[in-house]
């Protein structure tokens, strides 16, 4: 099929920053794109060919949108899977497949999938409601500390909490959830696997993620991860095995824990471009966004090696500020060597909202990490 400068239409469900960064590459290739998104001010609006307003969880909105495109992909998992299933029956190519999304959307079914496919993950319990956890604690089938995760619709630090005492349970929503053993890990790692419909598969180098202690959001992504070759191989092999189990087309970001004794446990996966791959725009031969386009259109995959060491810093709204966004001291960071800011185009900031990211590239990874710290301490996302 001719995708380039043709009447082929690529549909993307979701109009956020991941979609916007995908559009950098569809524009580069002159691929016609249609976006479905509920927010009229979404970052994607400025860069797509067609912008459709609609609720991604609404069957009719997703189904009617999907009928108008040739290939449909996502930039967010919270979409109506029944509509995707029916679109597949009608011959629309949907990547990731509805079956994959159905499994991943619910953290309990995602964990059961790992168990069924002999993929290593932290032990867990599932509950129909958070209130049932108290009973499990009384019967000593569960003990502190553990990680509470909302089964559905959690993202970026919302819907996840470390529970060390009864007090920590008090303000949690009474919803379907899982509890996981708190893993005393050395590192949080991630590997992005790209796979096209012909089965060609490539992996990006293992990255290491440093988290914000309160917000449970990634502060720094460091590539390559500062780990041994042996641990790196183990993480890559598990990511590949996970991708094969899902029979996945597109990108699959596999987030993992490296335990104190160098075991690798899967934390969770995302079947789309991912925060842990943002650095690839500057540091890799092929960015994760271009690779996702190549994979879902069954084009040859690009090179995944890094050209240079990269560190990514998330730009999130500063605490105490809500309203029209201002990027304070952005000029100061742009003076620094190898620093590239990416501003997502969200007009309103609020505490911990993802507003952009900054990539720092340097042949010396230690130097890149040092500059990343300077960037983090200099730029502030505030409001007028």
Nearest to 318 by CA among 380, 384, 377: 380
Asked, for residue 111, whether it belongs to a domain, the answer is no
Q: What is the number of alpha carbons within 13 Å of residue 176 lying toward its C-beta?
A: 9
Asked, for residue 66, whether it belongs to a domain, the answer is yes
User: What sign has the CA pseudo-torsion 54, 60, 66, 72?
Assistant: positive
pLDDT of residue 212: 75
- 290: tokens are 């271009």
Asked, for residue 104, whether it belongs to a domain, the answer is no
pLDDT of residue 128: 96
Q: Residue written as tokens 């002999």?
A: 118
pLDDT of residue 98: 98
Considering the domain architecture, whether residues 218 and 304 belong to the same structural domain is answered as yes
Asked, for residue 40, whether it belongs to a domain, the answer is yes
Task: Decide which of 144, 163, 181 is a domain's last residue.
Answer: 181
Considering the domain architecture, whether residues 146 and 290 belong to the same structural domain is answered as no
Considering the domain architecture, whether residues 215 and 168 belong to the same structural domain is answered as no
Considering the domain architecture, whether residues 176 and 195 belong to the same structural domain is answered as no
pLDDT of residue 58: 98
Nearest to 383 by CA among 355, 334, 343, 350: 350
Task: Decide which of 134, 156, 181 is a domain's last residue.
Answer: 181
Asked, for residue 194, whether it belongs to a domain, the answer is yes
Asked, for residue 86, whether it belongs to a domain, the answer is yes
For the segment 284-342, what is each residue's pLDDT rounded down to a tens digit?
999 999 999 999 999 999 999 999 999 999 999 999 999 999 999 999 999 999 999 99
Considering the domain architecture, whether residues 221 and 333 belong to the same structural domain is answered as yes
Q: Are 62 and 36 in contact (CB under 8 A)?
A: yes
Considering the domain architecture, whether residues 204 and 88 belong to the same structural domain is answered as no
Considering the domain architecture, whether residues 129 and 85 belong to the same structural domain is answered as no
Q: Is 235 helix (H, G, I), strand (E, B) or coil?
A: helix
Per-residue pLDDT of the chain (384 residues; tens, 9 = 90+): 899 999 999 999 999 999 999 999 999 999 999 999 999 999 999 999 999 999 999 999 999 999 999 999 999 999 999 999 999 999 999 999 999 999 999 999 999 999 999 999 999 999 999 999 999 999 999 999 999 999 998 766 679 999 999 999 998 999 999 999 999 899 999 999 999 999 999 999 999 998 877 766 788 999 999 999 999 999 999 999 999 999 999 999 999 999 999 999 999 999 999 999 999 999 999 999 999 999 999 999 999 999 999 999 999 999 999 999 999 999 999 999 999 999 999 999 999 999 999 999 999 999 999 999 999 999 999 999
Q: What is the number of alpha carbons within 13 Å of residue 285 lying toward its C-beta?
A: 10
Q: Are 271 and 246 in contact (CB under 8 A)?
A: yes
Considering the domain architecture, whether residues 206 and 271 belong to the same structural domain is answered as yes
Please state, in angstroms and rounded to a whole number, the distance separating the CA atoms of residues 248 and 289: 16
Asked, for residue 279, whether it belongs to a domain, the answer is yes
Considering the domain architecture, whether residues 312 and 241 belong to the same structural domain is answered as yes
Residue 57 belongs to a domain with what CATH number?
A: 3.40.50.20
Please state, in angstroms and rounded to a whole number, the distance separating the CA atoms of residues 351 and 209: 21
Residue 216 belongs to a domain with what CATH number?
A: 3.30.470.20
Number of domains present in the structure of the chain: 3
pLDDT of residue 330: 98
Considering the domain architecture, whether residues 198 and 84 belong to the same structural domain is answered as no
pLDDT of residue 158: 76
Q: Residues at the annotated binding site for ATP? A: 107, 149, 180-183, 188, 267-268
Asked, for residue 255, whether it belongs to a domain, the answer is yes
Considering the domain architecture, whether residues 170 and 189 belong to the same structural domain is answered as no
Residue 131 belongs to a domain with what CATH number?
A: 3.30.1490.20
pLDDT of residue 157: 65
pLDDT of residue 25: 98
- 258: tokens are 């490296």
Domain that holds residue 321: 185-383
Q: Which residues contact 79 (CB under 8 A, 6 or more apart)?
A: 13, 14, 56, 57, 62, 101
Please state, in angstroms and rounded to a whole number, the distance separating the CA atoms of residues 18 and 354: 11
Q: Has this prediction a pTM greater than 0.85?
A: yes
Q: Residues at the annotated binding site? A: 107, 149, 180-183, 188, 267-268
Considering the domain architecture, whether residues 220 and 352 belong to the same structural domain is answered as yes
Q: Are 300 and 200 in contact (CB under 8 A)?
A: yes
Task: Decide which of 136, 159, 181 is a domain's last residue.
Answer: 181
Pairing state of beta strands 71-74 and 93-94? parallel
């Amino acid at each position: 099929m001719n995708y380039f400068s043709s009447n082929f239409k690529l549909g993307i469900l979701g109009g956020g920053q991941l979609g916007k960064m995908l559009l950098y590459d569809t524009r580069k290739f002159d691929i016609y794109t249609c976006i479905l998104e509920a927010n009229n001010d979404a970052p994607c609006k400025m860069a797509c060919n067609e912008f459709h307003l609609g609720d991604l969880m609404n069957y009719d909105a997703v189904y009617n949108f999907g009928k108008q495109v040739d290939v449909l992909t996502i930039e967010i998992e919270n979409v109506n899977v029944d509509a995707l299933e029916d679109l597949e029956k009608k011959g629309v190519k949907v990547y990731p497949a509805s079956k994959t999304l159905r499994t991943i959307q619910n953290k309990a079914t995602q964990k059961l999938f790992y168990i069924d496919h002999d993929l290593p993950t932290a032990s867990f319990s599932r509950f129909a409601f958070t209130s049932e956890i108290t009973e499990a604690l009384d019967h000593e089938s569960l003990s502190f500390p553990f990680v509470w995760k909302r089964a559905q619709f959690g993202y970026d630090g919302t819907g996840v909490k470390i529970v060390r005492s009864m007090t920590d349970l008090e303000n949690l929503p009474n919803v379907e959830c899982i509890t996981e053993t708190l893993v005393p890990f050395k590192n949080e790692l991630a590997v992005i696997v790209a796979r096209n419909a012909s089965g060609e598969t490539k992996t990006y180098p293992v990255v290491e993620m440093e988290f914000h202690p309160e917000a449970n959001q990634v502060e720094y992504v460091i590539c390559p991860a500062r780990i041994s070759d042996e641990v790196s191989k183990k993480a890559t092999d598990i990511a590949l095995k996970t991708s094969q189990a899902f029979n996945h087309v597109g990108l699959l970001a596999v987030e993992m824990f490296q335990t104190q004794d160098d075991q690798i446990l899967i934390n969770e996966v995302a079947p789309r471009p991912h925060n842990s791959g943002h650095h690839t725009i500057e540091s890799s031969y092929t960015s994760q966004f271009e690779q996702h386009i190549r994979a879902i259109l069954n084009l040859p995959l690009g090179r995944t090696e890094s050209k240079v060491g990269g560190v990514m810093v998330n730009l999130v709204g500063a605490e105490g500020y809500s309203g029209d966004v201002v990027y304070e001291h952005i000029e100061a960071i742009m003076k620094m060597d190898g620093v590239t800011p990416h501003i997502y185009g969200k007009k309103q900031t609020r505490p911990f909202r993802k507003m952009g990211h900054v990539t720092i590239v340097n042949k010396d990874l230690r130097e890149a990490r040092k500059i990343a710290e300077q960037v983090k301490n200099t730029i502030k996302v505030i409001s007028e």
